[in-house]
Structure formats: structure tokens, C-alpha cells
Amino acid sequence: ALVNQAGASLQQNGHIYYIGWKSLGIMGIIDASECVPTFGADADHVRGFIYNGFKEMANKEGDISALGPEFAVSHEHFLKTILPTIHRSDTVIFVFTLDDDGAQIEKFARQVKGSTFNLFAISHGTAEQHM
């Protein structure tokens, strides 16, 4: 269902947005960046966002979001500039672990759900949860 919906979003000139936390947020950003050379997607059609932006990624150059909108990867940026432009054809994918703040994730998802029904969540447990 997720892959079909994501493909439908792109075919309808929509977008795919990954909203992630910690290492899964980084994976979302990496996957989004790979869609440009691999599938010929426009850079703004598939994007990833991570809690605390570049601070969470411990980026060597620091916060480089001032270089342009394509470098703005924080949840805050998504809420302020992307969410108001979301259409029903867009797909939003939340990626998180069960250790992440569930209340924060739920609040974020409720905000997005007001703009699109194409909302998916991918979560998993961590090693600590299985010990």
C-alpha cells in the first residue's frame, strides 16, 4: 500500500515527505536524496525531515539550512513551510522507533492528517526493548 501510494503521489505531481527521528530520520533524508539520481525525481518532490534538524545529525558544518530551502531538514521547517502547502495527493511517512516520544509523534501526525489522508507510519523496537 505504501509503495503504491508513494508512486501515485509522484504520478500526480505530488510529494513524498519522510518525517523521522534519530537514525531513522537520517535514513529518510538519505532515501529522499537518492530518489533524484535513481528515479529522476525532482529534489523537492521527495524530501526528508528530522527532529532537531542538523543538530540531531551532528553535522560537521553545523546547521546549513541557511544555504536554501532544500537544506532545511528540521521538523520545525516542515511545520512552518511545508505543511501549509501539502495537498491530498502528497504522501507523508513517519519513521521512528518505539523509544521515540509517542505523544510528540501523535501530535505531529494529527497536524499532518488535516492536510492529507496519505499518512503512513513505520516503527520498530530497539535492541534494548528485546533484552
- pLDDT tens readout for residues 36-89: 888 888 889 999 999 999 999 888 999 999 999 999 999 999 999 999 999 999
What tens digit of pLDDT does each residue of 74-119 get? 999 999 999 999 999 999 999 999 889 999 999 999 999 999 999 9
The three three-digit cell numbers of residue 30, written as one number? 538519505
> pLDDT at position 124, please?
83
pTM as predicted: 0.92
* Three-state SS at 120: strand
* Three-state SS at 3: helix
Q: Is the pLDDT of residue 131 over 60?
A: no
Contact indicator for 16, 29 with CB cutoff of 8 Å: no
> pLDDT at position 128, please?
64
How many Å apart are CA 102 and CA 33, to the nearest integer? Answer: 27
Q: Per-residue DSSP letters for 14-70?
A: --EEEEE-HHHHHHHHHHHHHHHHHH---TTTEEEEETTHHHHHT-TT---GGG-GG
